Structure 1
């Protein structure tokens, strides 16, 4: 069972086709992992074992008849509890959500996976409405890092990252409104991909509007590419969805990086980065040079866009809370209420000025990518820190000090970005590099990540010797 739970999507599909393995056995293996580890790590808000086994049995019949439903028939997957799932409540990590209501829709990404036969195991934990970079909420409690249970996996897609790391399912849907997939990917040592905004349709619209990307957290780059082939399609419910480009994200995945122009920015010119993290990132960047890329150390040249990003988050929080009754608002976390109160005081002129500044940043990055195919940075300047706090200890006394400066700029610019595991500190904690490409160049990010993975395979907690 343990070995089955560690198999990739491609391996599983091949074994299904050869009738050497059943979707039922694979689903049982994933559920066994959940039963073994979830009490310790708290990665799931809800597990639907009965429905998952029924879906797996239906998949098994299709494979035995030689008629699989699609590209991921029988592959176990999870959905972050911000994404709608038909038949299961979507509580968004909040006590404010009314559970007793019909749950009759799947979010687009969930729907696409189910249409092609994937087996939904359950919903993974999130911070309340995804508002903070750790996965802790009054509803579901604390989600813990599998490398050290006293530490956070980050957030807000922390449950999905932990599930990926421990083999509790194969494909894991996450969201990223400012780093919410890439942050936990880096802190747990898995691959986290945020596609170009609109490449994966989203519905209903997030309170943060078009900062919000739907992506995946997985154990291998190829798994991410397979998932993108299924979920990267428009949906009539999403006004922002991009046209279908008919891209096969598994094609040319092994193309490599030879000849690519890569900009390496250690700190954007203004961020503080832990020395051990910086050394591991630099070593990873050197790998790209050895693989034939033309690497230049250069900053993208923008001023810290933190205030721009905060304006949109504050306005979004204000909008979100206005949709709840006073009784519902009263049970929402104080930190989110405080952000909403700041958003209440924003003027229209301030919001529109932030929009102008965002557009200027996006134009600057478009020009930057005229000279560089890719940009590589640390995913985070720090490693995992203790649970029970929203920030690393050294950052708590200075709220203006930014512990996640590398992620949210690319939500503002809507570019594709991935966190790729690049090694471990002397204390055995994962570190990630971030690979960014120009808007719409999603495949290029995956190709670069795959090139790195091919010479530096990712290590998961159950197989790590630490």
Structure 2
């Protein structure tokens, strides 16, 4: 069996071969990772284990504090920020569990936007085809897992930032219920919507990482039998404008689950989505809360160039009065309660994670109108889980030329149950 240190060295030498063009990682911790890998090997030799994550190679989004260095959050403005005084809560928990932290992964500036491009640190090419967008904002996180340079990547998800790149790169991405995992030491975008989630090749790996970050004892994940499971399909606005290839794969996946004994029925939620769209018509919750985070430089001017796709929406949101923001949050609370009631009828919702496969980086750079339209479609399905305070997971769907994801969505706090359902669906689709 290959040692952790040997696996790490193979990865480091692969990454060293592309130093000049490195866009997936913004920082590698080669020496610290070597020390952690050697310690994991020594424990293994002695028959001692810190648990299921011991010796696993993990990457973290450049949104999380690592002691002694600035947290850049994909921005030039923070490149010379004060070094972090301590590790983020999740980084500390991962280290204590024996994770070998390889490095920080690239992301979109300030975790805003879903395309996955970064004007300052380069755009990581999609793991399936480097000419295609990775999806964002956890762009490097998904590519790292997809290309095999990390076993597990940790990202953040405010409107789909874990699940969008997971879908486009053909990996698993889990968005837990917000506040299940502590946000201490994570650069904020939206206090209401932010959540921290893992990406990996298997549901079981996501479940282990999630449990450790949430401060729980990682237990072996028990698949929940699909026979008798109630699955709701939110036909309507969330299935519109879906590429035929993605829709075919989705229909095949749902049929397979139905043949395994699940009850599949339409569950309309268009009225609740319309309510949320109406409540956030003037500005999204993420942009209003993000505008507060960045209020100082938005008012005085940035000290370094900022992507206009980021500064534009934040500047506009800064002009929204407090009364409108409070009204939006109040209305959201009502809609969250209505969705909770609606979802009592099913165990999970199933829908395509995003309605498309990854378009080309060149097409997004060359056509503003197409980029805006694409961004809206990328966020459309995933943001429902954040807006309505739910948990969700994206699984790769078989039978597409380019990666596409199946998203399962469950009620607030039903995270472990969702993971148990997901591991059963994963086994079924993988056959």
Fold conserved between structures, TM > 0.5: yes
2: distance between equivalents of 1:231 and 1:399? 32
Name the counterpart of 2:115.
134
- Of residues 33-42 and 113-122 in structure 1, the stretch that sits farther from structure 2 once superposed is 33-42
Name the counterpart of 1:358.
332
* Structure 1 residue 336 displacement after superposition: 1.7
Decide whether the 8 Å contact of 1:266 with 1:378 is kept in 2: no
2: distance between equivalents of 1:111 and 1:35? 27
Name the counterpart of 1:443.
416
* Unmatched runs of 5 consecutive residues or more in structure 2: none
Q: Is 2:35 the partner of 1:54? A: yes
Q: 1:322-401 counterparts in 2 under 5 A? A: 322-324=295-297, 326=300, 328-388=302-362, 389=364, 395-396=370-371
* Residues 200, 37 of structure 1: alpha-carbon distance in 2 compared, 3 angstrom cutoff: farther
* Residues 447, 33 of structure 1: alpha-carbon distance in 2 compared, 3 angstrom cutoff: farther
Decide whether the 8 Å contact of 2:221 with 2:420 is kept in 1: no
Q: Is 2:403 the partner of 1:453? A: no
Name the counterpart of 1:217.
199
Decide whether the 8 Å contact of 2:132 with 2:359 is kept in 1: yes
* Structure 1 residue 401 displacement after superposition: 5.7
* Structure 1 residue 307 displacement after superposition: 5.5
Q: Is 2:201 the partner of 1:228? A: no
- Of residues 170-179 and 24-33 in structure 1, the stretch that sits farther from structure 2 once superposed is 24-33
Alignment match of 1:26 (pick from 4, 7, 10): 7
1: distance between equivalents of 2:140 and 2:90? 17
Name the counterpart of 2:265.
296
Q: Deviations over 1:179-216 (max 9, x none)?
A: 00000001010000001111111124613112001000
* Structure 1 residue 400 displacement after superposition: 10
2: distance between equivalents of 1:437 and 1:39? 43
Q: Is 2:95 the partner of 1:117? A: no
Secondary structure, aligned partner of 1:121: strand
Decide whether the 8 Å contact of 2:137 with 2:162 is kept in 1: yes
Decide whether the 8 Å contact of 2:54 with 2:99 is kept in 1: yes
Alignment match of 1:80 (pick from 45, 61, 80): 61
Decide whether the 8 Å contact of 1:75 with 1:170 is kept in 2: yes
Between structures 1 and 2, the one with greater helix share: 2
What do you get for the CA RMSD once the two structures are aligned?
Answer: 2.5
Name the counterpart of 1:315.
288
* Structure 1 residue 71 displacement after superposition: 3.5
Alignment match of 2:407 (pick from 422, 427, 434): 434
Secondary structure, aligned partner of 2:337: helix
1: distance between equivalents of 2:382 and 2:179? 18
Secondary structure, aligned partner of 1:210: coil
- Of residues 37-46 and 439-448 in structure 1, the stretch that sits farther from structure 2 once superposed is 37-46
Matched residue count: 424
* Structure 1 residue 154 displacement after superposition: 0.4
Q: Is 2:158 the partner of 1:177? A: yes
Alignment match of 1:283 (pick from 252, 255, 271): 252
2: distance between equivalents of 1:330 and 1:44? 21
Large movers: runs of 4+ above 6 Å: 37-41, 390-394
Q: Is 2:254 the partner of 1:272? A: no
* Residues 437, 424 of structure 1: alpha-carbon distance in 2 compared, 3 angstrom cutoff: same
* Residues 411, 269 of structure 1: alpha-carbon distance in 2 compared, 3 angstrom cutoff: closer
Name the counterpart of 2:232.
263
Name the counterpart of 2:189.
207
* Residues 199, 372 of structure 1: alpha-carbon distance in 2 compared, 3 angstrom cutoff: same
Length-normalised TM-score, structure 1: 0.84
* Structure 1 residue 164 displacement after superposition: 0.5
- Of residues 385-394 and 41-50 in structure 1, the stretch that sits farther from structure 2 once superposed is 385-394
* Residues 442, 397 of structure 1: alpha-carbon distance in 2 compared, 3 angstrom cutoff: closer
2: distance between equivalents of 1:391 and 1:294? 45
* Residues 193, 269 of structure 1: alpha-carbon distance in 2 compared, 3 angstrom cutoff: closer
Secondary structure, aligned partner of 1:361: helix
2: distance between equivalents of 1:393 and 1:457? 38
2: distance between equivalents of 1:247 and 1:117? 14
Q: Deviations over 1:247-305 (max 9, x none)?
A: 655342x2322211110124446742122211111111111111211111232242333
* Residues 448, 390 of structure 1: alpha-carbon distance in 2 compared, 3 angstrom cutoff: farther
2: distance between equivalents of 1:366 and 1:208? 22
Decide whether the 8 Å contact of 1:135 with 1:153 is kept in 2: yes
Decide whether the 8 Å contact of 1:176 with 1:214 is kept in 2: yes
2: distance between equivalents of 1:280 and 1:93? 34
Length-normalised TM-score, structure 2: 0.91
2: distance between equivalents of 1:381 and 1:361? 24
Q: Is 2:77 the partner of 1:96? A: yes
Q: Is 2:228 the partner of 1:250? A: no
* Residues 51, 91 of structure 1: alpha-carbon distance in 2 compared, 3 angstrom cutoff: same
* Residues 100, 199 of structure 1: alpha-carbon distance in 2 compared, 3 angstrom cutoff: closer
1: distance between equivalents of 2:332 and 2:14? 43
